[in-house]
Every structure is written in C-alpha cells, then in structure tokens.
Amino acid sequence: MEHQPVLLAECIDGLDIKPEGIYVDGTLGRGGHTGEIAKRLTTGRIIAIDRDLEAINEAAGILGDYIDKISFFHGNFSEIDNILDLEDIGAVDGMLFDLGVSSPQLDSSERGFSYMQDAPLDMRMNQQDDLTAFEAVNFWSQARLRQIFREYGEERYAGAIAGAIVRKREIFQIKTTFQLNEIIYSAIPVAARREAQHPAKRCYQALRIAINDELESLKSMLETAPNRLKTGGRICVVSFHSLEDRLVKRAFAAQAAGCRCPKNIPVCICGIPKTLKLVTKKPISPGKEETERNPRSRSAKLRVAQRI
C-alpha cells in the first residue's frame, strides 16, 4: 500500500503555518506531512527527523523540489534538544509528530512489523540498532514477555501467550512472523480467535514498543519539545493506540494546568507556570472518507497544543 499521511489537512491546520517559520517534523516517514509544510513556506525551513535511514533516503528523493528548505536528521525525536542546538536554533514555530508505523515499513517483506506477511522477526525502527524482535521472543524471560504483552499491548491472554512462546522456543528458535502468529493463535481461547482484530495484533504492538523503547522516547519528547516552541508555536501529535494517546493527553494537560499544588492550598507555592494551552480539547479522528481511503488511519488521534 502506498503511504498516505494520516490526518494531513488537520495537521496542517493545527500547525497554523507561517511562511517564514521554522518547523520540526519529528517523524518524517516518506515525507507526506513535510512536503505539505514545505509548500507553504517562503523563507522558512523544516528540521526533518526519523529513526529509519531508509525512510530518510526515500523521502529526500520524494521531496526534491523542496530540498533547500529541509534539513534531514537520522535520529530519535527524543533528541530534539541536541538536534536544534546543532542547527543553532533556539525555538521553532511548530512541531509535528506522527507516531505510527509507515505503510512501507508495514509492507516490507524484510522488516517484520506486520503479522500479515511472513518475514524475519525484526521490528527495528532504526536498522542500526542491535535489539530485534528475534532476540526478544527467543531470549527474554517469560515474566518479561508477559509484562510487555499486558502493559504495552493490553493483551488479555498475556500470560498464556508468553508461556506458549517459552515452551516452543525450547524446541526450536522462533525466527519468523508466521511462526510467532501460530504460537499466539494456539495460546488463546477459540472464541478469541474469531474476533475481528487479528489475534497477534496486540502482541506485535507490544513487541515493537518494547524493542524500540517507544514510550520512553515519547515521554522524553513530550517533556522537552514544548520548551523549544516560540510563544504562539504549536505542537501536533498523532497517536495510534491508547497508551500513546494517554501520555500525550496527560502531558498537554499538565503543562496547560501549570500549578501542581494540592487543591486545599489557597496560594500557589510550587511556582510551576502554565506553558501550553489546549487547541483541541478532545482528539481529532479521521473522517469516514479518510478511513475508507486509508483503513490504517482508523485508530489515529490528533491532539494540538500551543505555547503561551
């Protein structure tokens, strides 16, 4: 499937782009959002970041018409402070983070992100990292597997699946996605196998999050990125599952609330200022037309906040 940027118009509206502004696309992917930002810039520029070097190389080719407006960085968006310092940029006018896995990554026959294709167990966002899904599935303890399936995948049968994996790997190494699918399928009750959602979906989500340390990266970004916005600058985050969305919601709410003092204290003594205001009180979801055109967008949620 060709990659289609999710909630594209809504993200562009949320950023409220200034033609001379400086923007960060912290999840470049194949450049769909970056290209739309670039179209609206005159003297402005974009800092484009991605963990996947293959994505950067492809996006650079796709975005050739705007190459003079874009600086590409191979890295993690949690490193945004260092990246902006390298570019000698103090503050920016807007930031966009699309936390989903891109269609080329999902559809790749080698990356192992999808339970729909038989592929090596990989799941690395950054191909230069050492840890793969193969190492996790074959060498992590049963307790650790159970924990990540439950916490990161919200999997009801986490214990049964972890136990089945450990028993099977004592017989043979689990090397491919279809081998893992079969183990997951066999470990869950018959009724659960008939659910609309693929039985392996939650476990794949959990493994990908754990291997790529995604939630810790997201927490770090949410703590630091708003501080690099100019007054009036906006931050847009598109998430795809409840764990991510809760982190974004809570981080934005905390920075919009400021004071952390107990409610029974009449005067603030913590001194924590409000740094954001919520542009979207509730998340924006794709409309019917977009979900029909791009079914992978169904679970997307966009939240927008503005620096004050």
Task: Provide the token pair at 130.
Answer: 């050492």
Whole-Å CA distances, 215 to 36, 219, 288: 27, 6, 29
> What is the C-alpha to C-alpha distance for residues 143 and 141, in angstroms, rounded to an integer?
5
Looking at residue 216, its pLDDT comes to 97
Predicted TM-score (pTM) above 0.75: yes
Distance, C-alpha 96 to centroid of its chain: 11
Looking at residue 228, its pLDDT comes to 98
Domains of the chain are: 8-104+215-307 (3.40.50.150), 108-213 (1.10.150.170)
What angle, 0 to 180 degrees and rounded to 10, lies between the N-to-C axes of helices 142-153 and 201-212?
100
Contact 161, 144 (CB under 8 A): no
Strand partners, 50: 74
Looking at residue 2, its pLDDT comes to 57
> What is the C-alpha to C-alpha distance for residues 200 and 221, in angstroms, rounded to an integer?
29
Looking at residue 267, its pLDDT comes to 85
* pLDDT tens string 236-264: 999 999 999 999 999 999 999 988 888 88
Whole-Å CA distances, 105 to 115, 126, 129, 247, 296: 12, 11, 16, 24, 13
Task: Provide the token pair at 210.
Answer: 């754990």
Looking at residue 68, its pLDDT comes to 96
Task: Provide the token pair at 242.
Answer: 């409840």
Handedness of CA 114, 159, 240, 29 (dihedral sign): negative
Looking at residue 269, its pLDDT comes to 84
Q: For tokens 């974004």, name the residue.
A: 248
pLDDT per 10-residue tile (average), the chain, 308 residues? 83 98 97 97 98 95 96 97 97 97 85 94 96 98 98 97 98 98 96 90 97 97 98 98 96 93 84 94 96 93 98
Residue 239: how many other CB atoms lie within 10 Å = 23
Question: Helical H runs in 140-284?
Answer: 142-153, 158-169, 177-187, 190-193, 201-212, 214-224, 242-257
155 secondary structure, DSSP code: -
Of the candidates 217, 221, 123, the residue with the CA atom closest to the CA atom of residue 176: 123
Round to the nearest angstrom and report the end-to-end CA distance of the chain: 40
Containing H/E element for 62? helix 53-62
Looking at residue 3, its pLDDT comes to 64
